[in-house]
Chain A
């Protein structure tokens, strides 16, 4: 252990034994390619159930919207939670347009939450777009997809909502505790 003190609080640095390091070094095991290929295969086996789950999540959002029209209130936190789940599932199986719409909805919901905006229609129109492009819906020509994205973009601009700045996943590595993480410019694509 190495205490270091430069006139500030004591900092102790040491290199403890990490059991994962020892276990990973054992003989046998899988190469990166083998492990990743096997994992991809197991994930692929979940495609069917994941598509059903996306449909169910969209149905849940539709139910939230329907209920909110009665009560003039929508649980935006719940909208974000379900939208995150759609982004995760759709992203895993490369349903890019669905991911884009879900991100737009997430950004709208976050902005409304932050600014205490109670409008329901902008949420509903995004949920309708998700339904239009849901896994169980008939295929939609790419021109229609582009048109839908264009219209949703207008909604976002109307409310001054911009795409969230996405940070890349990183290996916690920033030298300055007060320094903001690096980020790539916000974009839905």
Chain B
């Protein structure tokens, strides 16, 4: 899918962060992208209540909220009904909280961005969420976007999904592919910023 332009007006966006300075900068960026009137809430509890009765297309939240860790809010959203359940979630982490990033990922966040956020990085991440279809995974311990992105096979080389190939693949019947041919097949999905 080609997306030379994106229309973000009308995209219902929820921002959850109690850091006023950060929020002011973020709202300026979103306004520049055409996202009009995002809803801003300061606590996880406010967000939980609000999300019960309002639908959102994009959620951006801080990693350290006054009443909860951002991961807890992400987990809560992943157990709501659609469309909120599937909404792309971008988590913003500050310098002193970077060690918490794995926790946020495992709660079901789509993207983690380190502050300070530049308009270019934020736009590219939103564009990536908007144009790269991504499987959704539901297990007893995880609900969220598929975390497998690198084409290096399943964890342990064994795999836990039906789609994971067996390690026993038999003898090659044709010449090996060149690296260029392999790269062409893989088509990495990672966003590359200019």
A contact residues around B67 at 8 Å (CB) = none
B contact residues around A16 at 8 Å (CB) = 82, 85-86, 136
- Beyond A4-B160, A17-B86, A20-B87, whether A181 also contacts B101 by CB under 8 A is yes
A187 CB to closest chain B CB (Å) equals 13
Q: Does B46 contact A (CB under 8 A)?
A: no
Chain A residues numbered 31-49 whose CB sits less than 8 Å from any CB in chain B: 31-32, 35-43, 45-46, 49
Q: Does A110 contact B (CB under 8 A)?
A: yes
Q: Does B4 contact A (CB under 8 A)?
A: yes
Q: How many residues of B contact A (CB 8 A)?
A: 93
- Beyond A171-B190, A173-B149, whether A11 also contacts B139 by CB under 8 A is yes
- Beyond A9-B141, A31-B5, whether A18 also contacts B88 by CB under 8 A is yes
Q: Quick check: which of A65-73, A125-133, A162-170 contacts chain B, the rest being far away? A: A162-170
Contact between chains at B95 and A106 (CB < 8 Å) = yes
B64 CB to closest chain A CB (Å) equals 8
Chain B residue, CB-CB nearest to A92 = B116
**Once the chains are docked, how many angstroms separate the CA of A21 from the CA of B1?**
10
**Once the chains are docked, how many angstroms separate the CA of A89 from the CA of B116?**
7
B contact residues around A19 at 8 Å (CB) = 55, 57, 83, 86-87
Q: Does A136 contact B (CB under 8 A)?
A: no
Contact between chains at A83 and B161 (CB < 8 Å) = no
Q: Does A139 contact B (CB under 8 A)?
A: no
**Once the chains are docked, how many angstroms separate the CA of A81 from the CA of B20?**
12
Q: Does A2 contact B (CB under 8 A)?
A: yes
B contact residues around A30 at 8 Å (CB) = 5-8, 33-34
Most chain A beta carbons < 10 A, residue from B112, B113, B125, B126? B112
**Which residues of B are in contact with A by a Cβ distance under 8 Å?**
1, 3-11, 19, 21-22, 24-25, 28-34, 55, 57-58, 64, 82-83, 85-88, 94-98, 101-102, 105-106, 109-131, 133-141, 145-150, 152-156, 158-164, 190-191
The 7 closest A-B pairs by CB, nearest first: A39-B32, A29-B7, A173-B149, A4-B162, A91-B116, A39-B119, A38-B32
Sample (9) of A-B pairs whose CB atoms are under 8 Å apart: A6-B160, A9-B139, A14-B135, A42-B28, A84-B94, A164-B98, A168-B114, A173-B190, A175-B154
